[in-house]
């Protein structure tokens, strides 16, 4: 949440910052701001409520020169989104200019102490408190900006990713991290700073990931990396495995549509190097060291938030079904606060696209303290969760920019399917022919997704019919139940239509009361072991005049007779069907949101990377 960019070098900072903010806008978009500083100039600050485009329109009539700068795109925590609360925040006498991602928990205590020393505040933000605290220490102690920042951070409780400039030190940009991600890009006599690598990749592929409790003091041609206790560190420069094309729309009107259509490719990337050429073996290199623990695990606990939690539910069905290991799936936010029982021989798997979700990170800490082996399934390489876990698997979906998760979900489920199939073989739970059949079927999934995507126009037609509905119900059984939850989540996230996902059999315990001729009900009704039951559910809906949109196995004629609309899904084993059934639901939500004029890639109030609790 909140995107940070920074630049120090010999180029004009403004275009670098504004392009960077556009890349990071998925992290928050209720206001944006920049501050620029040159060798012989006073620092300028421009900030605006709204999107980066609003900031750009405002800034272009002002002086935007300067070769040091910081920029921010905000997801409000303290104070409503407006021009005043937008970042950057300057200290009272203008010595420090600060942007911040995170939450300073003891800000009211610090604010009171500063007010007692005659400091006044313009905004309601915790960040302005930080700027004033740094300035107070700087002036009172007559210390350098670096020392003032470090001493101030010792007084702070909370989470932060910070970019700081000091008016008197126009050759220095300071960054500090605890809990919120920061990456430094290393160029030729220039450095870039960002919340993730997407603003950096077009300038350099050499990056340094800042760890918690570290700060970097960046000059034009030198950098110092230190702990917040002032111990000097040797920077570890890594190469970015990302291309600029990965983070552009490439002709699609929205990132979400691009990412939906990328799924056949992203799932292949998830397989790459992990399924043998003869399609007989699965090998997940990232789990080799923990394989013995996995094989003897008494229980697996899967944690995640949002869409990643839905992937976790499918993981539960897969692992219990195939590998016969008991699995519990929990929201990371609930797990961490409810005093859960964690055994040393438990395996905890945390699923996260961003690898930065604050609740998931905190839950990992709890599991580690209890002695469990903690694994990660993440997309963003180098993010915090892969670094905090004992082992894990990257999904390799490539950057996901649309706030509503699509390809991250299907690649997470792909990894979970590979884990379940691999574990079931190691534990001797499936025959080798069943194993080989599942591996071959998994390899066929991208082709089958292509087959569904070819019907995109049909989903648009359907969207035209239902775009004005005020409620939607999504039903499924077994593996299709988490898909129903995910379909409902997609719709509410981007089109603001109320939607609920339910196990189909539970409909009669409540939601059936809502069904009338105005209620579209999406039913996932494949020819699997609960087919007859779900056919009955469809009849129950039709008896109450509900509108049924059914996802059926291609060739199904029974449901075609009853439902208002049917969409055919290529036949596939029940265990893998969620990778297919979710695609029509993504497309339906997408088209409904576009037709309703919603901001598809940046839905209101949401952010992609939720680094606050
Ligand atoms: C936010 C995003 C969701 C995502 C969830 C968990 O709410 O909008 O799309 O599923 O966070 O994020 P993670 O990065 O941990 O998967």
> What pLDDT digit, counting tens, does each position of 424-434 carry?
999 999 999 99
Going from the Cα of 436 to the center of ligand 1, the distance in angstroms, rounded, reads 33
Average pLDDT for 293-317: 96
Confidence band, pLDDT 50/70/90 cuts, at residue 278? confident
Task: Report CA(305)–ligand 1 centroid distance (Å).
Answer: 6
pLDDT classification of 281: cutoffs 50, 70, 90? confident
- pLDDT at residue 100 tops 80: yes
Residues 6 or more apart whose Cβ sits within 8 Å of residue 279: 436, 439, 440, 443
Q: Which residue puts its alpha carbon closest to atom 1 of ligand 1? A: 608
Shortest-distance atom of ligand 1 to CA 404 = 9
The verdict on the CB of residue 125 being under 6 Å from ligand 1 is no
Choice from 307, 311, 379 to test ligand 1 binding pocket (greatest atom count within 8 A of CB): 307
Q: Is 305 in the pocket of ligand 1 (CB under 6 A)?
A: yes
State the CB neighbour count (10 A cutoff) for residue 16: 23
How far apart are alpha carbons 438 and 417 in whole angstroms? 9
Q: How far apart are CA 613 and CA 611, in angstroms?
A: 7
Q: Which ligand 1 atom minimizes the distance to the CA of 304?
A: 15
In which band, very low, low, confident or very high, does the pLDDT at 12 lie, cut at 50, 70 and 90? very high
Lowest model confidence (mean pLDDT) among 174-178, 473-477, 505-509:
505-509
Between CA 416 and CA 322 the distance in angstroms is 11
Residue 606 Cβ contacting ligand 1 at under 6 Å: yes
CB 422 within 8 A of CB 325: no
Q: Give helix then strand counts, H and E, for the chain.
A: 19, 25
Sheet with 191-194, side-by-side order of all strands: 44-49, 31-37, 68-74, 3-8, 191-194, 183-186, 206-209, 238-239
| 299-304 vs 232-233, strand pairing mode | unpaired
Nearest CA to 62 out of 48, 49, 45, 74 is that of 45
Q: How far is the CA of 309 from the centre of ligand 1 (A)?
A: 9
Q: Is the CB of 306 under 6 A from ligand 1?
A: yes
Alpha-carbon span 507 to 139, nearest angstrom: 66
Average pLDDT for 196-222: 95
Mean local confidence (pLDDT), 284-313 = 95
Q: Ligand 1 center to residue 307 CA distance, Å?
A: 6
Q: What single DSSP character describes residue 138?
A: H
Arithmetic mean of pLDDT, 282-292 = 92
Does the pLDDT of residue 297 top 90, yes or no? yes
* pLDDT value of residue 28: 80
Mean of all residue pLDDT scores within the chain: 94
Question: What was the pLDDT predicted at 589?
Answer: 98
Residue among 526, 498, 485, 480 nearest 592 (CA): 498
User: Residue of the nearest CA to atom 5 in ligand 1?
Assistant: 306
Q: Per-residue pLDDT averaged across 482-486, rounded?
A: 98
Hey, which residues does 605 pair with through a beta bridge?
A: none
Query: Which atom of ligand 1 is the closest one to the Cα of 357?
Result: 15
Instruction: Pick the residue whose CA is nearest to atom 7 on ligand 1.
Output: 306
Q: What confidence score (pLDDT) does residue 2 get?
A: 86
- Which atom of ligand 1 is least distant from the CA of 305? 6
Lowest model confidence (mean pLDDT) among 227-236, 271-280, 469-478, 560-569:
271-280
Which ligand 1 atom is nearest residue 493's CA? 8
Whole-number pLDDT of residue 511 = 87
CB-ligand 1 contact for 354 (6 Å cutoff) = yes
Least confident of 289-293, 326-330, 416-420: 289-293
Looking at residue 452, its pLDDT comes to 97
Supply the residues annotated as catalytic. 2, 608
Reported as type and span, the H/E element at residue 69 is: strand 68-74
| Ligand 1 pocket residue status of 411, Cβ below 6 Å | no
Give the closest residue (by CA) to ligand 1 atom 8: 608
Mean pLDDT over 295-315 rounds to: 96
308 lines ligand 1 (CB under 6 A): yes
CA 604–ligand 1 middle distance (angstroms): 15
Ligand 1 centroid–CA 223 distance in Å is: 33
Phi, psi at 421, each rounded to 5°: -65, -45
* Residue labelled with tokens 């421009």: 46
Closest residue CA from atom 13 of ligand 1: 352
Q: Judge residue 195's burial from the number of C-beta atoms within 10 Å of its C-beta, 0-12 exposed, 13-18 middle, 19 or more buried.
A: buried
405 Cβ closer than 6 Å to some ligand 1 atom: yes
**579-585 average pLDDT score:** 98
CA distance readout (Å), 263 to 30, 269, 410, 580 = 30, 9, 7, 10
- The confidence score (pLDDT) of residue 606 equals 85
User: Side by side, which strands form the sheet with 96-104?
Assistant: 89-90, 96-104, 158-166, 173-178, 214-218, 223-227, 232-233
- Asked whether the beta carbons of 195 and 155 are under 8 A apart, the reply is no
Q: What is the mean pLDDT of residues 590-604?
A: 95
Q: Is the CB of 610 under 6 A from ligand 1?
A: yes
Q: Count CA atoms closer than 13 A to 547's CA, side-chain side.
A: 11
The pLDDT value given to residue 22 = 93
The rounded distance, in Å, linking the Cα atoms of 179 and 358 is: 8
CA of 175 to the centre of ligand 1 (A): 25
Distance (Å) from CA 602 to ligand 1 centroid: 13
Cβ-contact 307, 405 below 8 angstroms: yes
Listed in order, strand segments (DSSP E) in 251-317 are: 299-304
Q: Can you give the C-alpha Rg of the chain in angstroms?
A: 25
């Amino acid at each position: 949440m909140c995107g940070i960019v920074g630049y120090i070098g010999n180029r004009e900072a403004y275009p670098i910052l504004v392009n960077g903010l556009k890349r990071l806008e998925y992290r928050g978009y209720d206001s944006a701001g920049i501050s620029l500083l040159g060798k012989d100039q006073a620092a300028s600050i421009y900030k605006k409520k709204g999107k980066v485009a609003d900031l750009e329109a405002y800034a272009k009539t002002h002086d935007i020169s300067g070769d040091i700068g910081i920029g921010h795109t905000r997801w409000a925590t303290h104070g409503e989104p407006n021009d005043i609360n937008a970042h950057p925040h300057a200290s009272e006498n203008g010595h420090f200019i600060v942007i911040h991602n995170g939450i300073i928990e003891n800000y009211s205590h610090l604010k009171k102490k500063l007010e007692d020393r005659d400091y006044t505040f313009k905004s309601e933000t915790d960040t302005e408190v930080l700027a004033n605290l740094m300035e107070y220490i700087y002036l009172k102690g007559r210390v350098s900006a670096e020392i003032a920042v470090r001493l101030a951070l010792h007084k702070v409780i909370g989470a932060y990713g910070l970019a700081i400039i000091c008016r008197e030190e126009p050759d220095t940009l300071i960054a500090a991290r605890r809990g919120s991600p920061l990456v430094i890009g290393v160029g030729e006599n220039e450095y870039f700073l960002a919340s993730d690598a997407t603003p950096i990749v077009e300038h350099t592929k050499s990056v340094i990931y800042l760890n918690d409790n570290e700060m970097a003091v960046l000059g034009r041609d030198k950098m110092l990396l230190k702990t917040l206790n002032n111990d000097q560190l040797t920077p570890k420069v890594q190469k970015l495995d990302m291309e600029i094309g990965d983070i552009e729309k490439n002709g699609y009107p929205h990132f979400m549509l691009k990412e939906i259509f990328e799924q056949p490719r992203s799932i292949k990337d998830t397989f790459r190097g992990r399924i043998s050429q003869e399609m007989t073996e699965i090998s997940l290199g990232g789990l080799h060291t923990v394989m013995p623990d996995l094989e003897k695990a008494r229980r697996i606990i899967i944690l995640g938030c949002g869409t990643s939690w839905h992937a976790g539910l499918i993981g539960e069905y897969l692992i219990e079904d195939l590998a016969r290991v008991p699995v519990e799936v929990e929201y990371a936010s609930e797990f961490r606060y409810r005093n859960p029982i964690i055994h040393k021989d438990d395996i905890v798997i945390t699923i996260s696209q961003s690898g930065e979700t604050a609740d998931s990170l905190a839950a990992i800490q709890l599991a580690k303290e209890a002695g469990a082996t903690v694994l990660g399934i993440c997309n963003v390489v180098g993010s915090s969760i892969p670094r905090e876990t004992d082992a894990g698997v990257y999904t390799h979906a490539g950057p996901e920019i649309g706030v509503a998760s699509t390809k991250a979900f299907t690649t997470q489920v792909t990894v979970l399917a590979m884990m379940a199939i691999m574990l079931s073989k190691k534990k001797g739970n499936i025959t080798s022919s069943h194993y080989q059949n599942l591996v071959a079927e998994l390899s066929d999934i991208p082709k089958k997704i292509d087959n569904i995507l070819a019907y995109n126009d049909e989903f648009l037609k359907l969207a035209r019919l239902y775009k004005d509905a005020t409620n939607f119900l999504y039903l499924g059984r077994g593996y299709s139940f988490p898909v129903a939850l995910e379909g409902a989540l997609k719709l509410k996230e981007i089109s603001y239509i109320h939607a609920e996902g339910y196990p189909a059999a539970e409909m009669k315990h409540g939601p059936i009361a809502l069904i009338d001729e105005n209620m579209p009900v999406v039913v996932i009704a494949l020819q699997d072991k609960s087919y007859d039951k779900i056919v009955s559910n469809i009849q129950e809906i039709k008896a109450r005049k509900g509108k049924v949109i059914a996802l059926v196995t291609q060739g199904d004629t029974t449901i075609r007779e009853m439902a208002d609309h049917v969409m055919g899904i290529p036949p596939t084993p029940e265990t893998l069907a969620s990778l297919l059934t979710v695609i029509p639901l993504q497309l339906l939500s997408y088209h409904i949101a576009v037709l309703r004029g919603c901001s598809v890639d940046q839905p209101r109030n949401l952010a992609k990377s939720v680094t606050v609790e």
